[in-house]
């Protein structure tokens, strides 16, 4: 018995073509889609920002609402298309960008039943994170992946560094509480508050809401301020060293099964699900 596979082949053909446009940027259509998506993301964020200004919202609220629904419809169709073209859509749906894509459209639909709040506006601004997906264009891909790999390779050193900084803040904060509590008890009221002062001082933020008044306290604060400049330089050096050693490919291939990206130039199978690329 002969099975007619023409329909199946045709379906795989348009699905593969649509996958190439949506998930990759090697073709003109793929680049055009990414540029259009980036413009939509930026314009939608501008719309959200303008809608948060009372005077503008009062005068142009209807127009902003229409624009919001236009962008939501576009992002919804794009989200559905991403699910349709993948053979394993669950991988995409529960991925980081899959969740971000969903959260970028949900607030508008929820607004039909629940009045808009500051929380829904915050969720709508998550669309800005989608720009990082679009930055898979060839000129940005290498730099983005190099930075991601450098941060990943540096995580152990940075963790140790942060633990050391926290330890210094606790020790110096406790010391300042002992020094200042008697004469400056109105500001250094507790050890946690003194630790807060130490963190603010060591990171060179310097809010000025708490300050030592004793000579010994000012001397300790001066040492902590000087240490702060060294604290700023350390993580920069750690990440910079990893950046100089990290090399990645700049291809834009994405798996047709799970949508995974970041494969080596000579990769034949997806490193996430094992499917043939």
For the range 105-113, what are the long-range contacts, defined as Cβ-Cβ under 8 Å and sequence gap of 24 or more? Answer: 105/72, 105/75, 105/76, 105/79, 108/68, 108/69, 108/72, 109/72
Termini Cα distance of the chain: 32
pLDDT digits (tens, 9 = 90+) for 232-258: 778 777 777 776 776 555 556 677 777
pTM (predicted TM-score): 0.56
Confidence category of residue 3, pLDDT binned at 50, 70, 90: very low
Backbone phi and psi for residue 5, each to the nearest 5 degrees, phi listed first: -105, 10
Question: What is the Cα–Cα distance from 266 to 268, expressed in whole angstroms?
Answer: 6
pLDDT value for 263? 67
The tokens 């060179």 sit on which residue?
Answer: 204
Counting DSSP H helices and E strands in the chain, the numbers are 11, 0
Residue at token pair 């010391």: 175
Q: What is the pLDDT of residues 77-130, one digit of tens each?
A: 989 988 988 888 888 888 888 888 888 888 888 877 776 655 666 677 777 777
């Amino acid at each position: 018995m002969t099975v007619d596979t023409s329909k199946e082949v045709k379906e795989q053909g348009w699905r593969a073509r649509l996958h190439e446009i949506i998930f990759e940027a090697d073709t003109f259509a793929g680049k055009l889609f990414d540029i259009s998506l980036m413009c939509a993301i930026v314009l939608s964020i501008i719309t959200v920002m303008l809608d948060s200004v009372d005077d503008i919202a009062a005068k142009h609220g209807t127009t902003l609402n229409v624009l919001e629904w236009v962008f939501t419809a576009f992002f919804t169709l794009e989200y559905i298309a991403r699910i349709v073209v993948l053979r394993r859509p669950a991988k995409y749906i529960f991925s980081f960008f899959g969740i971000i894509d969903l959260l970028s459209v949900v607030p508008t639909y929820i607004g039909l039943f629940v009045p808009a709040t500051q929380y829904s506006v915050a969720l709508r601004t998550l669309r800005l994170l989608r720009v990082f997906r679009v930055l898979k264009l060839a000129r940005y891909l290498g730099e983005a992946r190099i930075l991601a790999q450098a941060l990943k390779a540096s995580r152990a050193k940075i963790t140790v560094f942060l633990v050391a900084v926290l330890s210094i803040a606790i020790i110096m904060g406790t010391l300042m509480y002992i020094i200042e509590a008697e004469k400056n008890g109105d500001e250094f009221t507790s050890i946690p508050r003194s630790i807060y002062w130490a963190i603010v001082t060591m990171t060179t933020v310097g809010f000025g809401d708490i300050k030592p008044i004793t000579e010994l306290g000012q001397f300790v604060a001066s040492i902590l301020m000087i240490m702060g400049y060294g604290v700023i330089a350390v993580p920069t050096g750690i990440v910079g060293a990893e950046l100089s050693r990290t090399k990645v490919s700049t291809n834009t291939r994405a798996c047709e099964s799970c949508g995974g990206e970041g494969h080596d130039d000579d990769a034949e199978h997806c490193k996430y699900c094992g499917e043939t690329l």
